[in-house]
């Protein structure tokens, strides 16, 4: 029992110990649970912290990654920028080097260019100091550029010359206008004085202010010498031309004087030979008359071209009827047209009046029609005339058409040149001087018109003369309807006083005038003519111009100043073309020697009392 009790007590003790142990274990368990919970909490906290840290680390890592990427991009871009800047800097360096090279080359080129200019060139600042020059200026002054730069005019030239240079430079800076003047300066190169033109102008700095001047010296010594030589040559040419003109005028007078006799006497013989029983000689005399007229035409052409070239061909304007002009021209041209067996066609249209130089218009038409008739055989020559309205006014168009030999394009290029015909064979076959068309063209230009030509070889030609109906800028001092038209009332006799110093002309005119019905009185010279005029008071006076002693102009002036004789009509006969002078002094008609008999008859019949 004891043992059981003891065992129970031992068991109870052990149970208590076991309970205590269990309690302690429970406490330890709780404590351990608490620790576990704490650990779990710490674990949870740690896990939360770890999660937070991990998330933050990821964000930081992402930020770092982004920052790294951004930095890498920036580095790349910066690297590129630095590379671009480096390339740009290299280009700038290369460009600067190129510009510097260009500038150096430009300076070299400029200096080379300046040195290649034969005229001296120099530069100065506002103080008159030389900044530079070219090689020619060095040679002119006799110093090198290094010896010239930095010096002024007083260092290089004599005082008087330097003072003048300074005065002109200051005037240039004050006016700021180009300065050009002639000077005579000494050249050190050849130790000679040269005539020069100095041209100076200012140049400006970058801010636009005047900084100095640049000058160039142009040597005109050769030009001066050439100018003097040209002046001398011109004088010699003018003297030679004047001599030629005087020679031609004198020769014309000397040739026309015997031609007056040849033409006049041959006309008289043609009328008188049949009455003398020598009719078989009439044809020979006609040939003489024709040869004289032909020679007269040649002389007139040569004299006309000489006057034109010398500028001494005058224009006399008058108003005339176009139809009458055409009628006169056709009468003159018809014999030549018939000689070549040509048909001359002229459609008749009344075109009214024209104000121009009648003599020159007639001569141009005769030249064109004679040419057409001469170079056409067994064909037709046609003259068409019309009036055309243009912007410049009314024009008269004369168109001469023929079916003759025509001309090639090459021949057309030279037909208006003096002394030129289509070719030498033409001259040999048809004759002529080659002056007609040249004179026609010159006359047309003098009258404000022009001549055109169309032609085909072997098919004929068309010459068109275009003239203004009224001569441009022409005075109207003596148109036909305003010329002095006198009907003398001082005498009923038909006395015609002929005043001329040439016995042959007196004889011819006496024959012409007496056959019209006048009583002819002859006066050998101006003084005798004035005396007979005062004594006889004739119906009409025929007056020569070129007479020794008192010439025709003096006689005419004296007659018109005499109240008793002033109304007597005076007809001028002359070898010269001074119509304006004649009409201006009071002549009623002006006839050129040799006188056309039909024209003289027409004029004299107006004053004949029947």
Q: What is the pLDDT of residues 227-264, one digit of tens each?
A: 889 999 988 888 887 777 677 666 666 777 777 778 77
Give per-residue pLDDT as tens, 469-486.
998 765 444 333 334 444
What does the alpha-carbon distance between residue 348 and residue 520 come to, in Å, rounded to a whole number? 39
Residue 36, pLDDT score: 65
Give per-residue pLDDT as tens, 69-119.
888 888 888 888 888 888 888 888 888 888 888 878 877 887 788 888 888
pLDDT range class, residue 530, cuts 50, 70, 90? very high
Which letter, b or e, does each residue of 407-445 get, where b requires 16 or more Cβ atoms within 10 Å of its Cβ? beeebbeebbebebbbeeebeeeeebbbbbbbbbbbbbe
What does the alpha-carbon distance between residue 286 and residue 468 come to, in Å, rounded to a whole number? 39
What does the alpha-carbon distance between residue 445 and residue 431 come to, in Å, rounded to a whole number? 26
Q: Percentage of residues in the chain with pLDDT exceeding 70?
A: 84
Query: Does residue 321 or residue 297 have the better pLDDT?
Result: 321
Residue 482, pLDDT score: 39
pLDDT range class, residue 156, cuts 50, 70, 90? confident
Q: CB–CB of 190/196 below 8 Å?
A: no
Residue 488, pLDDT score: 40
Residue 427, pLDDT score: 46
Residue 113, pLDDT score: 81
Rg (CA), the chain: 59
pTM greater than the 0.75 cutoff? no
User: Which residues have a Cβ under 8 Å from the Cβ of 586 and sit 6 or more positions away?
Assistant: 484, 556, 559, 560, 566, 570
What does the alpha-carbon distance between residue 344 and residue 338 come to, in Å, rounded to a whole number? 8
Give per-residue pLDDT as tens, 359-381.
889 889 988 998 888 888 899 99
User: Which residues have a Cβ under 8 Å from the Cβ of 236 and sit 6 or more positions away?
Assistant: none
Q: CB–CB of 572/560 below 8 Å?
A: no
Return the closest-CA partner of residue 300 out of 16, 551, 592, 599.
592
Residue 398, pLDDT score: 93
Residue 480, pLDDT score: 38
Phi-psi region of 233 (alpha: psi -120 to 50; beta: other; left: phi over 0): alpha
- Which of 49-58, 310-319, 436-445 has the weakest average pLDDT? 49-58
Query: Does residue 484 or residue 587 have the better pLDDT?
Result: 587
- Which of 74-78, 143-147, 424-428 has the weakest average pLDDT? 424-428
pLDDT surpassing 60 at residue 207:
yes
Query: Does residue 166 or residue 25 have the better pLDDT?
Result: 166
Query: Does residue 185 or residue 246 have the better pLDDT?
Result: 185
* Tally of residues, the chain: 610
Residue 428, pLDDT score: 45
| Burial (Cβ within 10 Å: 0-12, 13-18, ≥19) of residue 607 | buried
Q: CB–CB of 364/443 below 8 Å?
A: yes
pLDDT range class, residue 492, cuts 50, 70, 90? very low
pLDDT surpassing 70 at residue 392:
yes
Q: Which helix (H) or strand (E) holds 604?
A: helix 597-605
pLDDT range class, residue 540, cuts 50, 70, 90? very high
pLDDT range class, residue 527, cuts 50, 70, 90? very high
């Amino acid at each position: 029992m004891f043992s059981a009790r003891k065992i129970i007590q031992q068991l109870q003790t052990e149970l208590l110990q076991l309970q205590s142990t269990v309690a302690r274990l429970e406490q330890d368990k709780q404590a351990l649970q608490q620790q576990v919970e704490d650990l779990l909490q710490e674990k949870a906290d740690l896990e939360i912290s770890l999660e937070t840290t991990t998330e933050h680390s990821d964000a930081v890592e992402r930020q770092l990654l982004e920052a790294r990427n951004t930095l890498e991009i920036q580095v790349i871009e910066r690297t590129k920028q630095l590379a671009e800047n480096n390339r740009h800097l290299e280009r700038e360096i290369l460009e600067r080097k190129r510009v510097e090279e260009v500038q150096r080359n430009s300076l070299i080129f400029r200096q080379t260019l300046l040195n290649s200019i034969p005229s001296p060139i120099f530069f100065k600042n506002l103080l008159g100091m030389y900044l530079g020059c070219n090689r020619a200026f060095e040679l002119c002054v006799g110093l090198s550029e290094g010896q010239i730069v930095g010096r002024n005019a007083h260092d290089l030239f004599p005082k008087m010359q330097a003072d003048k240079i300074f005065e002109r430079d200051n005037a240039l800076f004050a006016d700021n206008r180009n300065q050009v003047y002639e000077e005579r300066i000494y050249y050190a190169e050849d130790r000679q004085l040269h005539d020069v033109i100095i041209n100076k102008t200012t140049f400006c700095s970058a801010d636009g202010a005047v900084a100095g001047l640049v000058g160039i010296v142009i040597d005109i010594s050769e030009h001066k010498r050439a100018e003097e030589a040209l002046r001398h040559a011109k004088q010699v040419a003018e003297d030679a031309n004047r001599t030629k003109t005087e020679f031609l005028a004198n020769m014309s007078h000397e040739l026309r004087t015997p031609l007056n006799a040849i033409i006049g006497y041959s006309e008289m013989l043609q009328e008188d030979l049949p009455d003398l029983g020598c009719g078989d000689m009439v044809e020979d005399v006609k040939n003489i008359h024709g040869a004289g007229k032909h020679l007269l035409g040649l002389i007139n052409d040569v004299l006309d071209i000489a006057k034109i070239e010398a500028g001494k061909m005058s224009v006399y304007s008058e108003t005339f009827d176009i139809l009458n002009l055409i009628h006169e021209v056709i009468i003159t041209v018809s014999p030549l047209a018939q000689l070549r067996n040509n048909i001359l066609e002229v459609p008749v249209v009344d075109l009214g009046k024209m104000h121009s130089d009648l003599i020159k218009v007639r001569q141009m038409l005769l030249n064109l029609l004679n040419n057409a008739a001469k170079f056409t055989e067994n064909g037709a020559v046609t003259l068409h005339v019309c009036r055309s309205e243009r912007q410049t006014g009314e024009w008269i168009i004369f168109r001469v058409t023929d079916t003759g030999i025509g001309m090639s394009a090459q021949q057309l290029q030279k037909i208006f040149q003096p002394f030129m015909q289509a070719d030498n064979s033409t001259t040999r076959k048809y004759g002529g001087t080659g002056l007609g068309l040249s004179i026609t063209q010159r006359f047309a230009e003098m009258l404000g018109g022009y001549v055109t030509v169309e032609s085909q070889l072997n098919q004929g030609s068309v010459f068109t003369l275009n003239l203004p109906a009224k001569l441009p800028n022409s005075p109207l001092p003596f148109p036909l309807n305003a010329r002095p038209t006198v009907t003398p009332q001082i005498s009923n006799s038909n006395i015609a006083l002929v005043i001329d110093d040439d016995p042959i002309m007196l004889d011819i005119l006496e024959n012409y005038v007496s056959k019209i019905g006048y009583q002819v009185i002859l006066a050998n010279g101006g003084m005798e003519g004035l005396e007979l005029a005062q004594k006889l008071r004739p119906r009409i006076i025929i007056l020569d111009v070129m007479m020794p002693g008192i010439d025709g102009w003096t006689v005419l002036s004296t007659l018109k100043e005499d109240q008793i004789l002033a109304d007597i009509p005076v007809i001028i006969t002359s070898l010269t073309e001074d119509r304006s002078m004649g009409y201006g002094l009071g002549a009623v008609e002006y006839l050129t020697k040799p006188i056309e008999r039909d024209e003289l008859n027409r004029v004299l019949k107006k004053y004949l009392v029947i």
